[in-house]
C-alpha cells in the first residue's frame, strides 16, 4: 500500500492578505530604494540625508519581502523563518543606524519611522503566520 501524501494544513484565508501586503510592500520598497540608489543626483538630493547602509538594506530587503510574500501565499514552510529573518535583520540594521546617528551621522527622521514601520510589519506578519502546535 502506498504511503499517504503529506499535506500542509489548510491556511487561513487572512494569510492571503498578509501575502499581498508583503508583495506590495516589497515592490514599493524596491522601487523607492532603487530610485534613491540609481535615480541620479536630483532624486538623491530630494531624499535628503540618507544613510547608505539603510538604503542598500531596504532595497535588498524588498526582494526578500517579495519572496516571503510568495511563500506566504503558497503557505510554504519556509515563509515563517524568512519572515522572522526579515524582522530580525531590520532590527539589526536599526540598531546600527542608531549607533551611526549617535556618532553624528546626518539622517532624516523619516528613516526612523520607516525602519520602525518595517520592523513592526514583519514582526506582525511573523506572529500571524507562526506555525501552531496542535
Distances (CA, A) of 47 to 51, 88, 107: 10, 26, 10
Q: Is residue 99 part of a domain?
A: yes
Q: Is residue 98 part of a domain?
A: yes
Q: Which of 106, 127, 9, 26 is nearest to 69 (CA)?
A: 26
Q: How far apart are CA 3 and CA 5, in angstroms?
A: 6
pLDDT for the residue numbered 60: 98
Query: Would you state the cell numbers that stand for residue 3, as one nine-digit string?
Result: 504511503
Residue 65: give the domain boundaries: 14-129
Q: Which of 83, 82, 85 is nearest to 93 (CA)?
A: 85
Q: Is residue 61 part of a domain?
A: yes
Q: Is residue 134 part of a domain?
A: no
The whole-model pTM stands at 0.86
Q: Is residue 45 part of a domain?
A: yes
- How many structural domains is the chain composed of? 1
Q: Is residue 6 part of a domain?
A: no
Q: Is residue 72 part of a domain?
A: yes
Indicate the pLDDT class of residue 40, thresholds 50, 70 and 90.
confident
Residue with cell 502546535: 133
Amino acid at each position: 500500500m502506498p504511503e499517504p501524501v503529506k499535506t500542509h494544513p489548510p491556511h487561513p484565508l487572512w494569510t492571503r492578505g498578509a501575502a499581498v501586503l508583503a508583495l506590495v510592500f516589497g515592490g514599493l520598497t524596491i522601487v523607492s530604494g532603487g530610485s534613491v540608489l540609481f535615480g541620479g543626483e536630483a532624486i538623491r538630493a530630494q531624499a535628503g540625508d540618507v544613510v547608505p547602509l539603510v538604503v542598500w538594506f531596504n532595497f535588498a530587503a524588498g526582494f526578500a519581502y517579495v519572496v516571503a510574500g510568495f511563500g506566504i501565499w503558497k503557505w510554504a514552510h519556509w515563509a515563517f523563518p524568512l519572515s522572522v529573518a526579515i524582522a530580525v535583520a531590520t532590527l539589526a540594521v536599526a540598531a546600527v543606524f542608531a549607533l551611526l546617528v549617535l556618532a553624528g551621522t546626518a539622517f532624516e527622521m523619516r528613516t526612523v519611522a520607516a525602519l520602525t514601520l518595517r520592523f513592526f510589519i514583519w514582526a506582525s506578519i511573523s506572529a500571524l503566520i507562526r506555525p501552531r502546535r496542535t
